Structure 1
Amino acid sequence: MKAKLIGTKVITGKVRASYAHIFEPHRMQEGQDAKYSVSLIIPKTDTSTIQAIQKAIEEAKEAGKAKFGGKIPASLKTPLRDGDVEREDDPNYQGAYFINASSKNAPGIVDQNKIRLTEPSTVVSGDYIRASINMYAFNTSGNKGIAAGLNNIQLIEKGEPLGGASSAEDDFDEIDTDDDDLL
C-alpha cells in the first residue's frame, strides 16, 4: 500500500494509530482548545510514506516562507520524529517514525469499503489505518515550524489495543446457560 503525495497533502500507507482522539476532541493541556488528534506510527521500512511526508514538509516550508519573514529559518520544528530516539521506552515506537496530526474539525472516518464509521469503538489506538494529513507552516509566539493537520482516516485492520487494554471478548468465556454454578 503506497503513499500518495499531492502538494502538501499525504495519504499514508498502512500506519498504526496511537493516542487516537478521533471521534471526540481532546485537550492536551488545560486551557488549550480541544482537537481531534492521532499519533501515526510509521514503520521505518515504509519508505513510500516517509518520503511522501518529507516532500510534503519541504513543500510546506516553501509555501510558508511568508509566515517566516520571507526565508526558511535554519532551526525549524518539523513533525516527523524518530520513535527509536524520542520514545525509546515504548516498544510500539521502536523501528518506526511517528507524526502527530490534529484538527479542530472532526476527521471523516471510513472502513476498507469506504463505509462511514461513527462509533468510537470502531477505530482505537493500536488499529492499522491510512490517514490523510496536510503539512502547513506555523509561526506562533516565536515558535516556527511545520505541523500536520488531520483530514481523514481509513481503517485497514484491527490491531492489538495499545495501552494494555483488553477486549471483553478476550476477557470472558462463553457462558453455558444450563450451568448450575451460575446460581
Structure 2
Amino acid sequence: NRPGVVGPDVQEISDPNVVYAGCRVKASVTAFGFNNVSKGVAFALNNVQFLRDGERLDGGMAASEEFDSEMSNEPASLSDVEKGLL
C-alpha cells in the first residue's frame, strides 16, 4: 500500500507533487530487522504529514517554474536555438 499523505491541518493530500525531496515532513515508519543472507535493519514508510516547503534536494525544478507562458502557435526558429534562447 502507498503511504497516506496529509497536510499540516491533517487533511488528506491527493496531489503527488506536494511532497518532494527537500520538503519538511513528519513520517511514521516501522523498523524491522533481518538475518537472512545478510543482517540489517530496514524501515517501512507508513504515513507522511507534509509540514512546509523546503529547498529542493533533487536539483530539479517544477516545469511551471522553469518555463514562461508560450501562447504562440509558431514553431521555434533555428536562430533561437543557435542564440541559446531555447
Give the structure 2 partner of residue 107 of structure 1: 3
Which residue is equivalent to 2:29? 133
Q: What SS does structure 1 have at the residue aligned with 2:41? A: strand
Between the aligned partners of 2:3 and 2:64, the Cα distance in structure 1 is 28
Q: Deviations over 1:116-169 (max 9, x none)?
A: 11221111111111101121121222x112221211100011122222211234
Aligned residue pair count: 73
Q: 2:49 aligns with which of 144, 147, 154?
A: 154
Deviation, structure 1 residue 174: 6.5
Q: Report the residue type matching 1:171 in the other structure.
A: E
* Correspondent of 1:117 among 9, 13, 31: 13
Gaps of 5+ in 2: 75-86
Please give the secondary structure, in 2, of the residue aligned with 1:122.
coil
Give the partner amino acid of 1:134.
T
User: Could you say which residue in structure 2 is the equivalent of 1:63?
Assistant: none
Question: What TM-score, normalized to structure 2?
Answer: 0.68
Distance across 1 between alignment mates of 2:6 and 2:65: 25
Percent of aligned pairs sharing the same letter = 34
Amino acid at match of 1:135: A
**Would you say 1:170 and 2:65 are equivalent positions?**
yes
| Secondary structure, aligned partner of 2:47 | strand
Q: Which has the larger radius of gyration?
A: 2
CA RMSD of aligned residues (A): 2.2
SS in 2 for 1:164: coil
TM-score by length of 1: 0.35
Q: Which has the higher helix share?
A: 1
Q: What amino acid does structure 1 have at the position aligned with 2:23? A: D
